[in-house]
Each structure stands twice: as structure tokens, then as C-alpha cells.
Structure 1
Amino acid sequence: MEKQYFADFELETFWEDTAYALKEYIEKPPSDDMIAAVEQATGYPLPPSYIAFMRMHNGGIPCNTCFPTRTPTSWAKDHVEISGFYSIGDSKPYSLLGLLGSRFMIEEWGYPDIGICICTCPSAGHDIIMLDYTKSNNGKYEPAVVHVSQETGFKKTLLAKNFEQFVRGLISDEYFDTSEEELKSTLRILRTGNFSSTLLTYMKREKHISFDRHLRNILLQLTNHKGAFALQEDELSYLVYDIQFYLYTQNQKVYDTTDYLKEYPQMLALSDNEISTNGYAASFVENWLNRGLEENKIISQPSGVITFSKEYEQELLRKVQLY
């Protein structure tokens, strides 16, 4: 007798079919040909439970997004969080063969080729949920579901023995609502923690302005306002981007903006010390940089070195000292 997957499962209350989910994730139920195409492209057989689930609703954003863990992860001390399920298809960005699909995460982001990426996470690529085929005996039984984090050297954390167990184990983020406690902890770190070794080196070379003190004050104000430590596209975030660029260009020569974008994460985004945003949205930084170039705040000197203009540099230093 063929095994029945997701018997008595409440599908109607599982999914949150927003306009965003419909645009980015959800595809029509997969055909046999599409399933075969995905298996050929990924190199792995799709587990029957995954196929059965996607034939009921092919990808999307669930209402419950958290899965408890027994050990700490890069996301939290007791759980991981997902932002959506990849669909079996190729037309949506978050489909297995889509623009941001499973092979993209493995080939472009460096995730281990142990199976198939099945869920995106809120970290914008810095962690992911995968089907792990390393112990599935070439598909004779279903692969396990694991959390893999780029921030911890692609460490694997076992979540569930199979896909159905994972889906049924998802719970609401309200269960882990520790926002007030986390905010207090973040503010404490911003007051007393260390900046990255890179920023510390640059700050010590500044003789006339205490960037350590002023930057802390800016980050404290930004975090209190947002309720979390994150750099986005707002006035205070742009000021923090400015400070990092100023400190960097006072110590390193930049001839190509792409070179700076590669070095940017070492300062705050992926700091090697306590004060870190633990990730970043590259598009926000690129938009800040492009705006600076368009407004001639960032210019190319006759030598070819890219810096702030003298006028904007003076304006920035005055602004920083107000905090």
C-alpha cells in the first residue's frame, strides 16, 4: 500500500498567500516533466513527501515560520526561522530552478553540495534550509532536513528526519517573541562591545574626532528607533554608511567602487567582534553609493582615487560630532 503523506493536514491554515508570495514563490502544481527536469538539474531525486506537498500548494510563505532546535544556531539560541518554501519549477525567483534557486545558492553562495535548498531564510542568503542527502543511501529513504549557516562556516544543524516532519514541526514566531529582551541585549552590546578589528584600527588613527563614541551614539539612536540593529535606507543608516566609507578611504585607496563593496562587510556587517549587524542587504549599500556618486559627494580624484569630496567630507565630520 502506497504511503499517504500529510494525512489530515490543515493546508488552508498553513499558507499566507500574499501578493509577494504569489509573485516570488508560488507556481502551478508541478507536472511529472517538471519534476524530472528539477531532478536532472539538481542531481537529486525529490522526496515523495516534498512532491506530494508541492502538488497541494507549490511553494510560498507559511503562517508559521519557526522550527525549534536543541542547540543554538546563527539565527537564535533555540530555533531557526524561514521566510518561504521554494516551489518545484523554474519561472519564479524562489523556485528550485529559478533565478535565486537551489543551484544558485550552492554555486554562487558556496553552500555545500549535499542536496537541495528548499527554504529561504530572513537573513537574505546567510543561512538556508536544505534537504541533506548524505545519509539517504542514494534516495532509498528520504533525506533529512538541515539548517546550514554561512556565518558559521556552513555548519549543519539537523532539524528533522524527513520533510513531512519538518513541515509539521513549524510553529509561530510568537512562541519566541523575545524582542524586548533582545533589544536590551543589543543596546548593551552597542554601549560596551568592541567594533571590528578593522574599524578599531581605523578609528585609532583619527586624532581629532572620537569616532568610537560618536558612532556608538548614532547606532544606539538608530537601534532604539527601529527596535533592532539593522542598516537600511534611512537617514541614520546613510550616515553610518558614510562613516564607514570615510574611515576606509582614509586608510585604503579605492580605485573601483566594486572593490570597496567587496571590503564593506568586514567593518560592521560581518564584524569579527561583538558589534555587528550579522548580515546586510547589498542593494542598500549599492543604492547609498550610487546616490553619493550622483550627488557628487563621492568623486574620483585626478589620481583616480575615489573619495568623498572635500566639501562633503567637512560636512560629514560636522554632522558626526553632533552625536
Structure 2
Amino acid sequence: MDQTLIEQLNRWHEEDEHQQIVDLLLTVPEEERGYEAVGRLGRAYNNLELYEEALDQLENIAEAGQQDPVWHFRIGFALYHLKRYEEAVQAFRTSDNLKAGDENTELFLKWSLQKAEKQQRQELRMAAKRAAAVAGSASAEVPFSNMSLEDFWDDSEYAKQEYQSEPPTDELIASIEEELGYKLPASYLALMKQQNGGIPNNTCFPTEEPTSWAEDHIAITGILGIGREKSYSLCGDLGSPFMIEDWGYPDIGVVICDCPSAGHDVVMLDYRACGRDGEPEVIHVDQELDYEITFLAENFEAFIRGLVSAEEYDTSEEDKEAALYKVAHGKFSSLLEGLCTPVTEVKQIDQKIRSICTRIVEKKGYFSFHADELSYLMYDVQFWLYTKSYPDTTREQYLAVYEKMIAFGGEFGQGGYAPGWISEWLDRREKDGRIVQENGHIRFTDQFTAEVIQQLREA
């Protein structure tokens, strides 16, 4: 490859401009692309999360790549994100054998081994579940026998207002089941007839594997009731269909619990092994880890019986301290750092951003943006910075690039975000006239730009 081209590709790679790399290399006729060009094209596709395309390109140079540890790493990276973990293990192991001691290779090999084992356990468990369903071994015991539910629910006004509905009628149950497409388990129906939705006093469930929430447990905020009236009900505004259709959760069952992450993880009834009319398992689904599924309980009753008090896992102070250190000292992403560099309107813009984010962590106990006032300020700041440097930005382009600033910003990052929050923020700013569109490009009005700058100066 020409040295000038290599330098350009290297710059784009450092600046996370991976689409630029793809667009340029695809202009080179396929028969003229050498090993280096195809390898870089595969890497760019990987970085764009187009893993099938990455594999297609890398497999074109498979013969030449057999002794190249980098080629095997890129193959493994694509396979890992396609959840083909056993194949990923082989690729990373080969890469490690060819060049021992590479930290990234060793880390991905470790993760791939863990996930391959987890995947195998899941397949065995589901196979056993299917066999039991065929054999008709379902239990006929009365739900929650020998378990008192008298002190199960939190009796707060918030719980009543946000979650609790009147006991469901048989007609409502049938209507909700028809809308969801699944038969709700008897134990869930029994609990909802005792109280239709709410916040339990015990909100944690132990796990044998780490999740984005904790090393040894997950936490729930509440249990969704049967109905449509409350936002936190099965078919409410924030219910199961919404989480599956708008937030991308897998269409394998019913979301029954929301979690403290405000959408980044949920608890679901999983009907894959039992069919739509069978007895579902209970699983945790982690959006922040590419919707990774973690088994929780054989059935809903076992899940309820297994809930424990949050006091057993109280790490809030440690988590808050870690988040405060991150926002105070974490390195900005290359994109955010580049956007801050030319700013002259606000002195020490980087410290102003850190100050706002510190206030967010102090208030919430963790580093995440939602729909509160300070989060909206940070949405405004990021938009102003980006459109200042890239004035010809469309809505689609901004939504695509947003995650590269802070959401997945490395050291100074949140490790995930909910795209719905950004779309809602954009809609609101357009509706109130603070974002205007000209020739397909979006920007703040001059008046609102001045307001954002003033808020930054005062931060």
C-alpha cells in the first residue's frame, strides 16, 4: 500500500472515522486490494460493529493470514461479537500461540472461554427444559405454598402510584396474554391477584456470574403488574412491548421487572425452551453487554422466593467513589477531546464538563444520563460541541456518533446508554424550537447556543 494512504488510514483509525476507511478502501477494485488493505477493511468493519462484513473480508485472505496473529485476532473479535464463542476461542488461542503475551488477545481469550462455557450450560439447560416439557412433567403445586406474602411488598406511595393497579380480572388477563402472545405463568398470576404490581421489599437476586450491575447479583426496581394503565405494567407505556420494540430487547418472552439502570437491563420470562404456553424460565438481559442473557431461576416462583435484601450487597458508597474518580480523572475519548480543543467561548471547557458530571454522580450515585435537568444540560453540551466542529450534521449522523463522545467514551465513559433518551431529547429540543433544521442539517438557535455557553461558564 502507498505510504500516504497508510498514513491517512492510520489517522482515521485513531480518530474513530472507520466509515471513512471503508468508503475509501471500497473504491479500490477488489482484485487490486492487497493483504494489508483487506485486513484494514476487516478491522474497520469490526469497529463499525458490522461483524458479518468483517468476516467476509477477512476470510478472503484466510490463506495468507494463517501465520499472522493480527488476522486471527480480528477473526476472533468478529466471532466474539457474533456470539460464536467456541470459534472465537480457537481464533484467539491461535493468535496467542503465534504471538504470546498480547494483553488484548489474552483478555478476549479469557472472555470467550467464559462465554463459551456459559453458552454450553444454557444450551444443556434449555435442552433439558424442552425434554421435560415434552414429557409433561410440569408441577401442579399451589403457587407460594408455605411462603407468606404478607411482608413481601413495599407499601410506599411511590410504589402504589407507579406500579400498583387493581387486581386483574380474568378478562384483562386474557386480553394482556393475547397482546403479549404468551401465557403468563400460574405463579405470576397468583402473585398479581394478591397485589397487581409493585416494589418488593427484597430487590436483589444472587447470580453465579457477573453482570453490568454487579459481580454476584442483579437488582430490580419493581415488578410489572397486569394491565395497561400504569406506565410500569406489562402493556403500559414502559412495559414489555415497549422495551422489546423500542429498546431492542430480544423477542423471546415478557419483560416483568425493570431495574435501577433505567432501561440498561431488565428481567424477563424466557419462553424459548417451553413454548408460548409453557412454564418460562426467568432471565436477566443486559443491554450494556449486547443484550447478554444470564439465567436466574427455573420459574417465576423460584425467582420470587430467591429475592434477597439489598442490604446484603450494599456497595453504593464504593460505586459512587469510583464514579467520582472517573469523572474527575478519566481520559476523554479522542472525539470529545478533539471537540473541546478549538473551544474559545468557555475557559477550561474540559473542567466545566467534569464539574457538571460530578454533580450528576453526587446526585445519582453513579455516572449515567437520563431525562433529568443535569442530563439534559450534558446532552446540550455534547450537541453544541459536535455541531460547532461539524456544522453539516444531520439528525441520523448525530444519533450515530453520539455514543463515541461519552456513552462509550473509554475512561471518561458510562459503558452504555439508551438511544431512546437521545431521540427524546432531540424531539423535545426540536419541538420547543431550540434545535432548527436547515437543508437537512440540525443546529441550535443562536439564542439557545448562548444559553448553553452561559450555563457552561457558570458550571
State the TM-score bracket (shorter-chain normalisation).
0.7 to 0.9
Which of 323, 329, 335 lines up with 1:192 in the alignment? 329
SS at 2:251 equivalent: coil
Partner deviation per Cα, 1:267-314 (whole Å, 9 max, x = no partner): 32x2242323443683897399649966xxx56598886545667756
Q: Which moved more, 1:180-189 or 1:204-213?
A: 204-213
Task: Tell me if structure 2 keeps the 8 A contact 1:238–1:288.
Answer: no
Counterpart in the other structure of 1:282: 421
SS at 1:183 equivalent: helix
Pairs aligned (count):
317
Q: Does 1:77 align with 2:207?
A: no
Structure 2 CA distance for aligned equivalents of residues 55 and 169 of structure 1: 20
Counterpart in the other structure of 2:410: 273
Residue 177 of structure 1: CA displacement? 1.3
Structure 1 CA distance for aligned equivalents of residues 442 and 423 of structure 2: 20
Which runs of structure 2 are paired with 1:135-284 in the superposition (5 Å)?
135-136=273-274, 139-140=277-278, 142-206=279-343, 210-220=348-358, 222-224=360-362, 227-231=365-369, 233-234=372-373, 237=375, 239-253=377-391, 264-268=402-406, 270-277=407-414, 278-279=416-417, 282=421
Structure 2 CA distance for aligned equivalents of residues 38 and 279 of structure 1: 30
Q: Does 1:52 align with 2:190?
A: yes
TM-score by length of 2: 0.59
Counterpart in the other structure of 2:165: 27
Q: Does 1:96 align with 2:234?
A: yes
SS at 1:109 equivalent: coil
Which of 121, 125, 149 lines up with 2:263 in the alignment? 125
Compared CA separation, residues 197 and 155, structure 1 to 2 (3 A): farther
CA RMSD of aligned residues (A): 3.6
Q: Which moved more, 1:249-258 or 1:284-293?
A: 284-293
Residue 60 of structure 1: CA displacement? 1.3
Unmatched 5+ stretches in structure 2: 1-138
Task: Tell me if structure 2 keeps the 8 A contact 1:90–1:96.
Answer: yes
SS at 1:99 equivalent: coil
Task: Tell me if structure 2 keeps the 8 A contact 1:47–1:143.
Answer: yes
Structure 1 CA distance for aligned equivalents of residues 426 and 372 of structure 2: 8
Structure 2 CA distance for aligned equivalents of residues 104 and 315 of structure 1: 34
Residue 147 of structure 1: CA displacement? 0.6
Structure 1 CA distance for aligned equivalents of residues 297 and 397 of structure 2: 41
Residue 207 of structure 1: CA displacement? 7.5
Residue 58 of structure 1: CA displacement? 1.5
SS at 1:62 equivalent: coil
Task: Tell me if structure 2 keeps the 8 A contact 1:93–1:101.
Answer: yes
SS at 2:150 equivalent: helix
SS at 1:11 equivalent: coil
Question: Which structure's CA Rg is the greater one?
Answer: 2
Q: Which moved more, 1:70-79 or 1:20-29?
A: 20-29
Residue 136 of structure 1: CA displacement? 1.9
Compared CA separation, residues 290 and 5, structure 1 to 2 (3 A): same
Compared CA separation, residues 58 and 206, structure 1 to 2 (3 A): same
Work out the percentage of aligned pairs sharing the same amino acid. Answer: 43
Unmatched 5+ stretches in structure 1: none
Partner deviation per Cα, 1:95-136 (whole Å, 9 max, x = no partner): 222232222221222211111111111222221110111122
SS at 1:27 equivalent: coil
Residue 263 of structure 1: CA displacement? 5.3
Task: Tell me if structure 2 keeps the 8 A contact 1:197–1:273.
Answer: no
Counterpart in the other structure of 1:109: 247
Residue 257 of structure 1: CA displacement? 6.8
Structure 1 CA distance for aligned equivalents of residues 438 and 292 of structure 2: 47
Residue 240 of structure 1: CA displacement? 3.4
